Amino acid sequence: MALKRRWLAWFLPLIFLGLILWSAWHRDPDFWRSGASLHQAARELSCQGETLQALELARKAWNREPGNTRYGVFLGWLYLERRQPREALEVFRRVLSLDGRATGALKGQAQALELLGDRAGALRLLEKYLREQPRDREMLQFAAQFAARSAGDQAAAIDYYQRLYQETREPQVRRQLLDLLIAGERFKEALPLQEEEAGEFPENQEAWHRLALLHYWQQDYQAAAQIYQQLLARGAQDAALRREAAQAANAAGQVDQALSQYLWLYGRYQGKPEYALALARLWSRKGNHAETAAVLAPLVKDKPEPELRRWYALELLLTRDFAKSLQAYEAAWQAGDTHQETIVNLARLYAQKRHFAKAAAFWDEASRRQLLKGDLAWEAALTYSYARRYGQALETLGPLHRRDPQNPKLLLFMGQLHLYQENWGRAAHYFSAYLKEKPGDDAVRQQLAEVLSFKPETREEALGQYAAILKRRDDLALRLKRIALLLQNRRWQDAARELKNCPRAEEPRLLREQARLCLWLGDLDAALAHFQALLSKEPRNREASLEMARVLIYLGRAPEALEVLRTLRVGQAGVRLDQPGDRVLLTAHIEAALAGRDWPEAQRWALRLFCSQFPEKHRPARDWTEARSWLKEGKPPAGLDLEERTWVARALCHHPDLEKNGEISRTACDLVILNLRKNRYHHPSLLILAYLLPRLPRYEDLSRMVRRLPGIRADSPEYVAALAFFDGNLGRQGGKLDYLLHVLQEYRRHRWPHSPGELLALAELARELGDTRAASRYLDRALALRPGDQRLAALKLQVRLDRKDWGGALKILEKQGNDPAAVLKAAHLYLYRGQYEGVKAAVQKIPAGNASYPQALLLQARACRLQRSYPEALKTLERLSGRIPQEELLMERAQVLEGLGDKQAAAVYEEIIRRHPESQAARVARARRDRSRGDWARAYRSYAQALKQAPQDIELLNELEYIRQQMRPQVASRSFPYARGERRPEEGSRPWQFSRYDREYLGRSLASLMQVPQEGRILVLPEAIYFTDSNKLYGGIIRFAAGFWITKVLPVQLAVEYREYNQNIYSQIGWQEKKPQAIEQHQKNTVSANRLRRAEVALSLGPLTVGERLRLSGEIIGRGYWRRIDQRVYHKWYGYPNINPGFPQYYGQDLLLDFSHKENRNRLFGSLSLGMHLSPRTEATLTYSRRDIFDQDPHLYPRLYQGEGVLNLEEARITGVHQVDLAASHQFRPGLDWRGSLGGAFFSDNNRRLTVYQGLFWQALKQPRMQLEFNPHVYLAAYRQRQQAYFSPGSYLAMGLGLNFHRQFFRLPTIILQGTAQGVGQHGDWGPALHGLAALEWEPVHNFFFNPYVFYFREWVDNYRLLSVGLSCRYAF
Amino acid sequence: MSKNPFSFFWADLRGRLPYRRYREREDRGRRLRALFFSLLTLILGAAYILWAGIVIFRDPGVQDVLFLGAEVLSFFLLAVLAADTWHLRYHTPAGLAPAAAYPVDIFVPCCGEPLEVIRTTLQAVAGIAYAPVQVYVLDDGGSPQVAELARSLGCQYLSRRQEGLPLGDSKSGNLNFGLSRSRGELILVLDADQVPAPDILTRLVGFFRLDRLAFVQTKQAFFLPEGDPFYNGDEVFYDAVQLSNDQANAVISCGSGVLYRRRALEEMGGFTTWNIVEDVTTSYELLSRGWKGIYFPYPLSRGLAPQTLAGVYRQRFQWCLDTMRLFFWDNPLRKPGLNFRQRRHFLLIMLSYLVSGLVFPVFCVIPLLVYLRGDSSLLGQETMYWALRGAYLAATILMFRHLFVRGNALKQFKMLCCLFPVYGAATLLALFYPPGRKPAYRVNNRRPFAESREWWCLTPHLGVILLHLTLPLLSLWLGWVLPRLIVFNALFSAAIIWLLADLVLTVIAKPQWSPVLDPRRFYGA
């Protein structure tokens, strides 16, 4: 041990150092390098171009030695190299704060500022430095170069160069200064410097030439001409010089001198265009156009510039040769000359020739180039009007109108022009302006009203105009027009009022119009009345009859509609009496059949309508397959219109073989796709297609849809991206489907129908197709348009309920006030939503005498139960006694008791079963009884039977899901076999979302077990324990376990475990021998190192329920033991003189002996347990087991599942134990249980043991996330023989109080604390004992639990203590 | 023989010394090596401190100055140690042949120790083979059982309590009381738990042939558990320091197993009483008056040592307080009558307490300060530091190895460091107790076999370990200090943890007694 301690003292610092080194290295791999080394490395890397690494190292170097400005400057320039000026600036600033004269940093800072866009700041910085150090040549040079880089800072650059020149007087500096001055056009300042240069180098022609140029640029042409003269005197043949001299003379106004120079050049270069042009200009300037044209003529021949052509044409014009001039302009235009002069002159010339189209085209060109200004606009407008291009004319007249806006003729003309172009707004504007001038013109006013009614935003104005006309004269047609406009403008209330006030028309045309308006308004009854009136006048009006039949259909009076339709069949030529002849009638029949929900009839009519496309066929098709085959043969059919296709498709939606027969679904899809190609916002088609898409039998059909649906650009990048998004969510097939549905929904959202009638019809269609969400939206819209409509409100509530939109439904119900029926419904809804206080509040609103009061009370009891307020629930149930059927009352009571944890619940369920054994209530009660007993397999079967009778019972389904969840195979550790705390609340309330039957791994059947290796999902859950006790026994346990169910009946667990125990014991035996002179002492010292290894494979089965009361479970364990004992024995003799025992004499007679002993054994163990329910509250279990001494009696160390009872490994033998236990438990009341056991054990070494355990378990606190339990108990173990090798005192009596506490913090691990304080009596002595367990239960991954824990046990009687540290895992599939 | 160590070393190196004394020639090899490594250590240490001083004074920080101060003080201690302990003096195991039969009085002072302990001691005293001898049991406890026991064994029982005398000055007062009632020429003082060997007097009395010899101190032996976890055996002191003290006539009396000359004590007026216990102070006084002391480096008595950390704390606190009171109020540098070597030798013990009590805490605190503050003058100079400090440390280890051949120097060093709270407190307390005001004396072995684990004793150690474990990681993770500096200081932290962890582990472990040295058996407890 001393050796180990010393090692520990060495290891601790070493581990600490290792950790520090690792952390430091992790933080900075170069932490060990010095600043200088880092800086050097950074420089080398920078030279190699590895600036990124260099930067990193330089940064570290600078961090190491922040006072070293050299490192800082280098780092800053590296940042600049990496184009990171902000960081560079920071570094340079720090460097400058350390050393204000660090010019490198200053330069760098200026560079950084420039890169950051703050060039002015950089210059200010340099200026500031140079104010302090005005003679610093290096910085002056840098500043000058820096400033010279930007054109905007030339002045500063010049200033710096001037200062530098004053310091240095170097010609190079002067040269740069001169260049800058010239570039900055500061010729005045440049002149003396240039003169200085010319004076310094008089033979330098270049200097003189520059001087001449400077004079020229400074517009001192005389001086320039003079210097040029001097220069020409030196080099007369220099053409360039002569050209410049000519330019100077020209500028100086010396035309003749310039002419002479140019003539020399013209002659010398034989008519070079450059000089010819200059010469022509000079001739033109002197007024000699003929000479000019003559000089220009040769130039025009050879691909001349457009300007030259125009100039030439103009010169010809000036010489009055128009024909040639026109030719020249045309040539210029064809050569691409688009000058204003060319275009306008050409337009004028064509107009002059009465070629208006051509002229208008040139005016177009002029207009495009915005050349039509002033009088040119008039010219152009006239030309346009001649060319019958009103729009252009209007555009051109615009400026004129702006100049004279009140001109009536112009207004009317412009209004007409706009009307021709269907520019309603502008036409209305000009008409209005006209009517201001002439208000009595009714014809123009009606025209204005019609124009205004074309645009939605001006319909109000149109209504006003109609009203103005109607004030003067009452006209029913006009009133109906106005009503139609009101409806169009969605002023439903006004339209309704107007329509009501409108007298019934006498004229059939107007009467029909009136009926249609009523239908539009959604006032079906009025529409029906009008149609009936019309039909009384014109009984043979077929269209009216049809429309009336439709109204009847909308009113839900399908049989009457059919009657009307039947009358229409009569008398049609060539048609049998029982068959409608035309498509309209067929359509109406389909509508009627659908309204009556007679799907086969609707499909029959739909097939007939579909076949009407093929008039050449003498009979209708037998079925849809044949009808579709007709489509493929021969010429394309005449086709159905949009409405007809819609009705056929709608009828097909209800075909029984829709999902099986691809032809039907494809036909329906084809029809609606055709509709959508006509109008992609056709809501009925969109709804039908949305219904059809998920029912398409093949993926290929879906893919085809993508290409056929209008508006989707298949394979475009947007499409690919959108599809990728949806694919990402749902996979390929689901993604595509979802995408298409999304597109359809978007189409519907883009354009909504506006009339309430249409919305109602669409809502009906949506409900018919099961899309309650869409139905709800349509109804919402309709209700917004007609807020007071009760029929709509009722429909809306129904749709909300269908959609399970309890919130929306509750809102509607709230509006209905305190009506008991509505309140009861609301209470139901609150219960669905889990708003239990809401249920109670709703029940309060119902008067006690009301017939629905008992039902309300039952709801309240349920709410209380679900709220876990069980006493209140029981109280409520008491009030219900005798007011509702006894079964319901009992069922509710039993559920409350079950929730309370009262085992009496099972008895109440039994009572229900006994009363009506074959009823559904009995089946449910049976299932719940099994559930309350924790018999999951039987409960599962019972629920399945109950659900056969009521497959849609959501409550039963939920309960079945709960059972399934409980049956999820769980691979549990020995230490923590079940989860404490509550799972996430949403999982508790909606288990079906979290546990799906098909996801239950290994939970389906034994057959699926065979697939395990193939799936590669063998799950092992290791747990590891280390323990050490005061007997120097220490060791560890490693365990792997897996679990599953066989056919949902038998749970199985398979585990492999390995243990190792070690014990190193030092013992000493000594005896004395008295001799005359001394006492001799003999010692025998024994050092033994004992080790036992144990491996086991355990298979446990059960519990399996047999009958209703018996439970069987068993376990079989195969174990192997490998034991080894190493002993070293040595003897010593000492002599102690009688006089002085403090100085013993060592005789030195040692004897050393070594022993080794090995033993291997294999054993088979197991257990069989039989449990039974003696009464609802009482259970008993009889267990036979065969164990070894390493299996600890669970009551001795109740929480030490991994317990260790062996005290002396050397002496302990592999001893088997046959044990019989009888355990019983009884519940006094919920939360207070008694448990007791009596056991006898027979050891293979002839020892025996009797154990008695009695304990009370009181749950002081029981909450979903927290539990506190106290357990006073007494335990007695009496052994026949005392065996020191394993834990067997003569008798062991323990009395104490246990505490079990766990608390789950929200989304945090559960804290588990268990403790027991005991008084222990052992071989006559009494003393205290303590157990303590502190553990955490942590669920880092869903369903995967980690349990780190520490267990400590201390008993003072034998001074025994044990410490165990472990980590275990658990997984629930 | 030259007093100059260099000329001595040179002569010894050439083998030109007379080597008259016992084992002087045999010890030559060790001595030369020890001296060589001592010189090397001092040179390397001086170079290191000079370098560190230059570096630190360029940019001094608080912790740097503290560090330098601590290093200088440690170097000073090393220098004194090296100068003092390289030259040892041995004596023959048989001692000298006595010139006359000196009458000897044996004083066994006791004050409430268990009766079994006293009985065992007295039985052994009765077995001492020498005559004429008179045994005095000086019982401040006034116990009738002890009186009965003493009489039954033929010892004379004297008790201030029974005689109604005041019990002032604790043990020294008791000894002076015994001195006043006895007549023997020599006085052997044995603590109540010290079991003497039968030949103790026959081997010691012969030294008193030397006229100016005041006392002979024997090596002390104890009943110790296996491995001597608290280093109560103190071999460095008993097998090296005391031998070198003997060489310089600066032997320290340990209060038990010591044979005094009555004349010397009477010249001084008896055992000194101004300090808490009489032993060190009495020998200090005697030597300053020109008397001589001899150290007999063989154990002739065996007694009890504290078995718990609290006991160790109590004992060492008392020793340190005694010594530091001498340092502050009767400093050897100012003590008249001592020569330079004696002064140096006395100073060595005091300096060791001073370094442990004050300098070691500074070494503990400096890395922590660096983790927190993050600046150090040695940053960037680590290589040089490690080169110089490493050489210095290696030389120190080699020096110790040859200075303390028989003692476990490392263990002694660890104990010295681990007892820093005790030594620090005692050093500070000594300032408040000038002569004339002394703290109470507590008997050490009242309950010698009580077993208790007093964990509170480890609070400072655990605190320091915890700080050194956590602060560098914290500093590293939070980026307070450059990693290089943390790693550099972590080496110090590791060393400190290593030093202190040993004591913690010692306290955790249960002591293992070999049957031979189990005191329970011998004292019949």
Q: Judge if B450 and B478 occupy the same domain.
A: yes
Q: Which residue has the tokens 């103790």?
A: B200
Q: Provide φ and ψ at B104, rounded to 5°.
A: -115, 135
Radius of gyration of chain A (CA): 54
Average pLDDT of chain A?
81
Q: How many CA atoms lie within 13 A of B162 on its CB side?
A: 15
Instruction: Provide residues of B within 8 Å CB-CB of chain A.
Output: 120, 123-124, 127, 195-198, 226-227, 301-302, 379-380, 382-383, 469, 472-473, 476-477, 479, 482-484, 486-487, 490-491, 493-495, 497-498, 501-502, 505-506, 508-509, 512, 515-516, 522
Structure tokens that stand for A158 in this block: 């010049």
Please indicate, yes or no, if residue B17 is contained in any of the structural domains.
Answer: no
- The pairing of strands A1344-1355 and A1325-1341 is antiparallel
pLDDT of A492 reads: 79
Percent of chain A residues topping a pLDDT of 90:
13
From B195, B380, B494, residue closest to A16, measured CB to CB: B494
**pLDDT (tens digit, 9 = 90+) per residue, A947-978?**
999 888 888 988 998 888 788 766 666 667 66
**pLDDT (tens digit, 9 = 90+) per residue, A895-945?**
999 988 898 999 999 999 999 888 999 999 999 999 998 888 889 999 999
Q: Alpha-carbon distance A116 to A130, whole Å?
A: 22
* Model confidence band, residue A1143 (pLDDT cutoffs 50, 70, 90): low
Q: Which of A207-211, A334-338, A382-386, B16-20 has the lowest mean pLDDT?
A: A382-386
Question: Taking CB atoms and an 8 Å limit, are B380 and A64 in contact across chains?
Answer: yes
Q: Alpha-carbon distance B450 to B308, whole Å?
A: 9
Instruction: Provide residues of A within 8 Å CB-CB of chain B.
Output: 1-2, 5-6, 8-10, 12-14, 16-17, 19-21, 23-24, 27-28, 31-36, 63-65, 1068, 1070, 1081, 1083, 1134, 1137, 1139-1144, 1146
Question: Taking CB atoms and an 8 Å limit, are A35 and B505 in contact across chains?
Answer: no
* Model confidence band, residue A985 (pLDDT cutoffs 50, 70, 90): very low
Q: A1075 CA to chain B: closest CA distance, Å?
A: 18
Instruction: Give B382's contacts in chain A (Cβ within 8 Å).
Output: 34
pLDDT at A1196 over 50: no
pLDDT at A1 over 70: no
Q: In the beta sheet, which residues pair with residue B106? A: B135, B188
Q: Judge if B296 and B366 occupy the same domain.
A: no
Total number of residues shown for chain A: 1373
Residue B385 in contact with residue B489, Cβ under 8 Å? no
* Model confidence band, residue B40 (pLDDT cutoffs 50, 70, 90): very high
Instruction: Give A1068's contacts in chain B (Cβ within 8 Å).
Output: 515
CA-based nearest residue to B335, from B427, B250, B238: B250
Interface test mutation site (partner A, options B505, B510, B512, B522, max chain A beta carbons within 10 A): B505
Q: A1202 CA to chain B: closest CA distance, Å?
A: 27
pLDDT of B342 reads: 93
* Model confidence band, residue A1006 (pLDDT cutoffs 50, 70, 90): very low
Buried b (16+ CB within 10 A) or exposed e, A342-365: bbbbbbbbbbeeeebebbbbbbbb
Residue A1172 in contact with residue A1111, Cβ under 8 Å? yes
Q: How many CB pairs below 8 Å do chains A and B form together?
A: 110
Highest mean pLDDT among A92-96, A783-787, A1136-1140, B107-111: B107-111
Q: Judge if B75 and B119 occupy the same domain.
A: no
Question: Taking CB atoms and an 8 Å limit, are A1139 and B486 in contact across chains?
Answer: no
- Which DSSP category does B240 fall into? I
Residue B66 in contact with residue B366, Cβ under 8 Å? yes
| Single-letter amino acid code for the residue at A1246 | N
Q: How far apart are the first and last CA of chain A?
A: 46
pLDDT at B395 over 90: yes
* Model confidence band, residue A653 (pLDDT cutoffs 50, 70, 90): very high
CA-based nearest residue to A1352, from A1314, A1324, A1308: A1314
Q: Alpha-carbon distance A504 to A502, whole Å?
A: 6
Evaluate whether A404-473 and A1014-1372 have a shared fold: no
pLDDT of B104 reads: 94
Q: Which of A74-88, A404-418, A921-935, A1301-1315 has the lowest mean pLDDT?
A: A404-418
Instruction: Give B227's contacts in chain A (Cβ within 8 Å).
Output: 2
Average pLDDT over residues A1312-1320: 85
CATH code assigned at B176: 3.90.550.10
Please indicate, yes or no, if residue B66 is contained in any of the structural domains.
Answer: yes
Please indicate, yes or no, if residue B12 is contained in any of the structural domains.
Answer: no
Average pLDDT over residues A815-837: 86
**pLDDT (tens digit, 9 = 90+) per residue, A37-65?**
888 888 888 888 888 888 888 888 888 88
| Single-letter amino acid code for the residue at A152 | G
Q: Which residues, 6+ apart, have CB-to-CB distance to A548 below 8 Å?
A: A528, A531, A532, A535, A564
pLDDT at A767 over 60: yes
Q: Judge if B216 and B280 occupy the same domain.
A: yes
* Model confidence band, residue A1004 (pLDDT cutoffs 50, 70, 90): very low
Average pLDDT over residues A476-480: 84
Q: Judge if B280 and B377 occupy the same domain.
A: no
Q: What is the DSSP string of B168-224?
A: TTHHHHHHHHHHHH---SEEEE--TT-EE-TTHHHHHGGGGGSTTEEEEEEEEEEE-
Q: Alpha-carbon distance A1236 to A27, whole Å?
A: 60
**pLDDT (tens digit, 9 = 90+) per residue, A126-152?**
888 888 888 888 888 888 888 888 777
Q: In the beta sheet, which residues pair with residue A308? A: none
Flag whether the ipTM exceeds 0.90.
no
pLDDT of A340 reads: 83
Average pLDDT over residues B213-241: 90
Average pLDDT over residues A462-491: 83
Q: B503 CA to chain A: closest CA distance, Å?
A: 9
Instruction: Give A1144's contacts in chain B (Cβ within 8 Å).
Output: 516
**pLDDT (tens digit, 9 = 90+) per residue, B463-519?**
999 999 999 999 988 888 888 888 888 999 999 999 998 888 888 888 888 777 778
Q: Judge if B166 and B78 occupy the same domain.
A: no
Domain ranges of chain A: 1-32, 33-117, 404-473, 1014-1372
CA-based nearest residue to B449, from B314, B256, B233, B304: B304
Q: Judge if B300 and B375 occupy the same domain.
A: no
Question: Taking CB atoms and an 8 Å limit, are A1141 and B195 in contact across chains?
Answer: yes
Q: Is B339 helix (H, G, I), strand (E, B) or coil?
A: coil
Q: Provide φ and ψ at A466, rounded to 5°.
A: -60, -45
| Cα–Cα distances in angstroms (integers) from residue A973 to residues A936, A1102, A1337, B304, in the given order | 21, 17, 12, 53
* Model confidence band, residue B186 (pLDDT cutoffs 50, 70, 90): very high
Please indicate, yes or no, if residue B97 is contained in any of the structural domains.
Answer: no
Question: Taking CB atoms and an 8 Å limit, are B476 and A1143 in contact across chains?
Answer: no
Interface test mutation site (partner A, options B300, B453, B522, B523, max chain A beta carbons within 10 A): B522
Q: A1144 CA to chain B: closest CA distance, Å?
A: 7
Question: Taking CB atoms and an 8 Å limit, are A20 and B472 in contact across chains?
Answer: yes
Q: Alpha-carbon distance A2 to A8, whole Å?
A: 10
Looking at the domain A404-473, which fold is it? Answer: 1.25.40
From B124, B487, B494, residue closest to A31, measured CB to CB: B487
pLDDT of A363 reads: 83
Q: In the beta sheet, which residues pair with residue B261? A: B186
Q: Which of A114-123, B116-125, B427-436 has the lowest mean pLDDT?
A: A114-123
Q: Is A439 helix (H, G, I), strand (E, B) or coil?
A: coil
Average pLDDT over residues A432-458: 80
pLDDT of A972 reads: 63
CA-based nearest residue to A1032, from A1067, A1058, A1059, A1057: A1067
Classify the C-alpha dihedral A191-A197-A200-A201 as positive or negative.
Answer: negative
* Model confidence band, residue A565 (pLDDT cutoffs 50, 70, 90): confident
Interface test mutation site (partner A, options B203, B377, B469, max chain A beta carbons within 10 A): B469
Structure tokens that stand for B136 in this block: 């005095």
From A9, A24, A34, residue closest to B487, measured CB to CB: A24
Question: Taking CB atoms and an 8 Å limit, are B124 and A1081 in contact across chains?
Answer: no
Average pLDDT over residues B172-181: 92
Q: Alpha-carbon distance A1023 to A1042, whole Å?
A: 12
Number of neighbouring beta carbons within 10 Å of residue A1: 12
Average pLDDT over residues A311-322: 71
Q: Judge if B126 and B77 occupy the same domain.
A: no
Interface test mutation site (partner B, options A15, A30, A1131, A1140, max chain B beta carbons within 10 A): A1140
CA-based nearest residue to A562, from A554, A572, A571, A553: A553
Instruction: Give A10's contacts in chain B (Cβ within 8 Å).
Output: 498
Number of neighbouring beta carbons within 10 Å of residue B138: 27
pLDDT at B290 over 50: yes
Question: Taking CB atoms and an 8 Å limit, are B127 and A1140 in contact across chains?
Answer: yes
Please report the beta strands in A1075-1177, taking only residues with DSSP state E, as ranges in sequence order: 1078-1106, 1110-1137, 1145-1146, 1151-1175
Closest CA in chain A for residue B126? A1139
Closest CA in chain B for residue A1133? B516
Q: How many CA atoms lie within 13 A of A1244 on its CB side?
A: 11
Looking at the domain A33-117, which fold is it? Answer: 1.25.40
Structure tokens that stand for A914 in this block: 């006994």
Which is higher by pLDDT, A1067 or A1018?
A1067
Percent of chain B residues topping a pLDDT of 90:
50
Q: A1131 CA to chain B: closest CA distance, Å?
A: 12
Which is higher by pLDDT, A700 or B331?
B331
CATH number of A1014-1372: 1.25.40, 2.40.50, 3.30.200, 2.40.160? Answer: 2.40.160
**pLDDT (tens digit, 9 = 90+) per residue, B331-383?**
999 999 999 999 999 999 999 999 999 999 999 999 998 888 877 777 778 88
Q: Alpha-carbon distance A1162 to A950, whole Å?
A: 55
Question: Taking CB atoms and an 8 Å limit, are B301 and A1144 in contact across chains?
Answer: no
Average pLDDT over residues B255-271: 92
- Which DSSP category does A1372 fall into? E
Radius of gyration of chain B (CA): 25
Please indicate, yes or no, if residue B333 is contained in any of the structural domains.
Answer: no
How many independent structural domains does chain B possess?
2
Q: Judge if B474 and B381 occupy the same domain.
A: yes
| Single-letter amino acid code for the residue at A932 | S
Domain interval for residue B182: 104-305
Percent of chain A residues topping a pLDDT of 70:
89
Cα A78 from chain centroid? Answer: 42
Q: Which residues, 6+ apart, have CB-to-CB distance to A119 below 8 Å?
A: A113, A150, A153
Instruction: Give B301's contacts in chain A (Cβ within 8 Å).
Output: 1142
pLDDT of A385 reads: 66
Q: Alpha-carbon distance A1083 to A1066, whole Å?
A: 13
Percent of chain B residues topping a pLDDT of 70:
97
* Model confidence band, residue A1137 (pLDDT cutoffs 50, 70, 90): low
* Model confidence band, residue B253 (pLDDT cutoffs 50, 70, 90): very high
* Model confidence band, residue A992 (pLDDT cutoffs 50, 70, 90): very low
Q: Judge if B353 and B454 occupy the same domain.
A: yes
Q: Alpha-carbon distance B107 to B187, whole Å?
A: 7
pLDDT of A987 reads: 47
Q: Judge if B164 and B219 occupy the same domain.
A: yes
pLDDT at A989 over 70: no
Residue A492 in contact with residue A476, Cβ under 8 Å? no
Please indicate, yes or no, if residue B95 is contained in any of the structural domains.
Answer: no
